Amino acid sequence: MDIQKWLQDKVFTPLEDKKMPVMEHLVELQVRLTRAVIIIGLVFVGTFFYADALVQWLRVPLQNMFVPGELRWIPTDLPTVPFVFLTPAEALWQNVKVAGLFALVLATPYVLWEVWQFVMPGLHSQERRFVGPFVMISAAAFYAGLLFSFFFILPFALNFLISYGVSAGFIPQISIAQYVGFALWFLLVFGLIFEVPLAITLMAKLGWVSAPMLKKYRKWAFLGAFLFAAILTPTPDPFNQCLMAIPMYVFYEVGIISAGIFGKKPAPAAAAKPAPAVMPMPKPAMAASGGDYVSVGDPKRR
């Protein structure tokens, strides 16, 4: 059997729509992916030239605390913590990693726009009204998680861990690879944590979950938040675990409220329709003798 004919008959033909064949969809997907990769590459070239400055900016939460009321960083009382690299290519590789992450974050709006342009023709008008705002809010929530982690969570975590080591009599010297990995992992995880209410809202919109069901599993969600935090936290200490688990559970509660507002409403039960009344038909009167039919209104029999 010709494998190309089999693929066309069994795979591509059932998937084709009336507006555009499957092969044209694949060509369009290839073009849009190529554009997205080119844009990310161009942004990466720009961020790599500023990689040293980005690493220094990523170092700010190490020895500073952000004060929301004054909108500025205040140095902590920790001693100066120097960065060291343990392998010849470690410093270069960390610059590449930081530049790549910032390029991906900066190019995310364009990537989402390309994805939207690809899937939009296949959506109904009602789905477009829902998916478009959902994608934009999801991106905004991810960025909010990154900023929240950078300004509030990361400084507290680093200050606690380094203060504990210094009070125990150790001299802090941090490998640049370990620090960059620790900071980027915290930023990524909190960006995803901020997506929890949106994920719950989407599942409620699709009818997979409901607010009463989520309320029923509150205690399991609380336990699951700490279990996930124990797995995702880069350090085994309970302090950082609480810093990650508590916001995760708080967003679960926010998801319950959102599911109650935007969730799929149950269809109202159809009211039972009463059966139509059937009028009994009058029985014909029979003569007392002879078996002749006697009409009720027959004047001859009066």
Dihedral-angle region of residue 285 (phi above 0 means left; psi in -120 to 50 means alpha; beta otherwise): beta
Cβ–Cβ < 8 Å for 191, 145: yes
What is the structure's pLDDT at 285? 52
What is the structure's pLDDT at 122? 73
Domain residue ranges in the chain: 16-119+129-194, 196-264
What is the structure's pLDDT at 280? 58
What is the structure's pLDDT at 208? 87
Cβ–Cβ < 8 Å for 240, 233: yes
What is the structure's pLDDT at 270? 46
What is the structure's pLDDT at 78? 84
What is the structure's pLDDT at 147? 93
What is the structure's pLDDT at 19? 59
Below-70 pLDDT ranges, the chain: 1-22, 126-127, 266-302
**What are residue 84's phi and psi, to 5 degrees?**
-130, 155
Contacts of 59 (CB under 8 A, 6+ apart): 83, 179
Closest CA relative to residue 180, chosen from 300, 278, 92, 55: 55
Partnered with residue 174 across adjacent β-strands are: 83
pTM of the model: 0.73
Amino acid at 139: A
What is the structure's pLDDT at 257? 93
- How far from 218 is each of 205, 221, 224, 233, 300, CA to CA, in Å? 20, 5, 10, 22, 87
